[in-house]
Amino acid sequence: MDLNQVYHKIDKLRNQIKKYNEAYYQKDSPLVNDSTYDKLFLELKKLEEKYNDYKPEEKLTNKVSGERSKKFEEHKHTYRLYSLDNSNNLDELRKWIEKTIKDIGETRNVSFVAELKIDGLACALSYKKGIFETGATRGDGFIGEDITQNLLTISSIPHKLPQPLDIDVRGEVYMPISAFEKLNEQQTLNNEKLFANPRNAASGSLRQLNSEITKKRNLSFFSYGAIIESQNEIKTHYETLDLLQSLGFSVNSNKKLCKNVEEIIEFCNFWENERFKLDYATDGIVIKVNELNFEEDLGYTSRAPKWATAYKFPPEKVWTKLLDIEYNIGKTGAITPVAIMQPVSLGGTIVKRASLHNFDEIKRLNLSIGDKVLVKKAAEIIPKVVGANHSGDAIPIDLPQKCPSCNTPLNKPENEVNFYCSNIFCPQQIIAKLEFFASKNGMDIDGMGSQIVRQLYNLGLIKTYDDFYKLKYDDFLKLNLVKEKTATNLLNAINKSKNTTLARFLTALSIKHVGKETALLIVREFNTLDKIENATYDELAKIQGIGEKIAKSIYEWFKNCHNLNIVKNMLQLGIIFEETRNTLISDKFKDKTFVITGTLSQKRTYYEEKIKENGGKVSSQVSKNTSYLLCGENPGTKYDKALNLHVIILNENEFNNML
């Protein structure tokens, strides 16, 4: 692999991790399990360490994960908060313990504290003279979200301490599993989206702008550390936990003071299975050096303490029986096989179904009805069939030839793994499109969950996207479990969704291959719906990041009279697009591609918008097609590459003069 390939790999991993961080920390909607994330993060870390001459704008592996939400005021932490490095198996954990003892000095007596790793939201609480003053999320470690009012609603967080201490308390806000199950029952009754797991539910509940909602969610708090001003008699981490308990904080009782590696391993092995008896989610064990003076000796990396590690439990796997295969029809007509299994307890919940993704997966696993199947669910997110034992009387799975919803013959495009129903009037395909249109990633009609959409469709009240904007108050009262207040809220949400962006609207239409990122590329190129509707195939295919397949899909969608009538109706019913910030001021940068590197006086988005407003394009990588490199202080390898390719290099003044 040459250097350009390595750098491309690093950038690709960085973009993946940024995407997963945003989903996990800001949207409370994880896209991958912890195990997958940790592997990607470790791969990036190794590449960054090996090729340390490559200097991107920021090294993600040096950064504490978690961006601050803009909904709350920012809070600058008095003492920085860190992430934890991971030990992903017992061998790695042994090596970490041995290295830590060696770094401290093998002649010095060292002990460790092993504690359950609570799967919640890390927070810092600040007390002045014993009075709770502020509480904030971890954020990026330096700045978090001020959520003091919401934290005050949690009964396990004391408002006043029995001693007038100045103390910063660290801990984890979590939702008990029993409270999580009740919350999802209520979400079901209200036809609202279910929370994926207790961690997401806790995070979403803690970030409510209305603290009364937070109060109803039955959150709790375990404290696991503190920074105490003028408290010199505390010599160990274990003593710190005892002090916190005496001050009225809830400290997890499932902890152990360990003298050697064997005791730590024994503790990890015990809780790997025993954790499922608890009323809170835990995904590992945190191991810390007990002696505080050794913490000072060991110090920190740029993102984590060297005196602590998190041992992650391996994903749980269980055997059960495959009872049947069902087929889901997605919004693009893709047919997805779903395994229907004998109910089995997995990761603390009962699992009955698991997506098999596509028919190639059925072939790969050589599945038959009646087989024993091995199922795993890492980090309590998505069940997956990972293996099978075949029984003698198992029934082979025949791939469907026709759509299970509308009986239309299925087709399989060349170079694709999915089979598709080509009937755009297929009932299940229409329902999937309507569900996505109303969803958060679509037009974001708050409260319009899948159950309400399905009821509206079954009653004949909605068949196409424009029908949402024709609904009346009385229509909602015809639905099960919908009362006057819910009906009013749904109507208000529909009206609110009329003011949207062109990119969101384009995404919501469920055009094949057009997601959020592709929609943004199209809008930046054409700016108006009219221009998109009238774009030629060649014009679409020329957009950087859009290939022939996507261009064909967009072109054909807007040449369909049925689709155009629906769009026309929605515009007449009041859909209004917010003015795009990328409206062209001039075409002076037409056909010019810019790459930006280094530290500039303004945020990078400022320069990106200026370039796009004047008809130019912005790329993340220097290539032979790059017209200009806009270069600030401390540029990375993009500067060297631009020199080698004879790309014109501009400083800020030169760029501003061009404007």
Give me the catalytic one of 50, 102, 117, 470. Answer: 117
- What string of DSSP letters covers 475-518? HHHTSTT--HHHHHHHHHHHHHHTEE-HHHHHHHTT-TT--HHH
The kind and range of the H/E element at 42 are helix 34-50
Contact predicate 380/348, CB 8 Å:
yes
The kind and range of the H/E element at 345 are strand 335-346
The encoded tokens of residue 590 equal 């037409």
Which residue from 78, 252, 234, 248 is spatially nearest to 163, judged by alpha carbons?
248
User: φ and ψ at 421, to 5 degrees?
Assistant: -95, 120
> DSSP label at 157?
S
- Examine the residue annotation and report whether 496 is marked as an active-site residue of this protein: no
Residues 6+ apart with CB under 8 A from 28: 200, 203, 204, 207
Contact predicate 438/503, CB 8 Å:
no
Report the 3 state secondary structure along 181-237.
HHHHHHHHHCCCCCCCCHHHHHHHHHCCCCHHHHHHCCCEEEEEEEEECCCCCCCEH
CA–CA separation, 6 vs 260, rounded Å?
Answer: 40
The encoded tokens of residue 32 equal 């991958």
Contact predicate 301/49, CB 8 Å:
no
